[in-house]
Amino acid sequence: TVQHRHQAEPLCSLVQTQTLSSLSEIRQCDSGWKGFDGSCYYIVTTEKNWTEARGFCKSMNSDLVIIKSEREQNFIESLTDNSYFWIGLKRDNKDKDEWRWVDGTYYNPPQQ
């Protein structure tokens, strides 16, 4: 039988933006956050549904993670240890065949 998992742990992401004056500085992530390629990642250890997970990330001035590269996906997989985690991808409200990231961009799956 196929079981659908409706509860998972959120994985929040905070993109660190740098100004020209701070490019030479290495920006550190806050305590408890893990840094990778200019972004910080926070794993929440309490299970929530997708909406609750996104709300929790928003309360921390972040959002559910948007995976932009295979390198980033590999990093995230190393953090999550093959557990279930929510990411910032959801079905489009108008076109249920389309998926969008939480920043509004469309998900384009890699071509096989």
Question: In the prediction, which pLDDT does 80 show?
Answer: 84
What tens digit of pLDDT does each residue of 11-25 get?
777 654 433 333 334
| Selected residue with higher pLDDT from 103 and 82 | 103
Q: pTM for the whole thing?
A: 0.76
Question: In the prediction, which pLDDT does 18 show?
Answer: 38
User: What is the SS3 string spanning 28-79?
Assistant: CCCCCCEEECCEEEEECCCCECHHHHHHHHHHCCCEECCCCCHHHHHHHHHH
Task: Give the CATH fold of the 9-101 domain.
Answer: Mannose-Binding Protein A; Chain A (3.10.100)
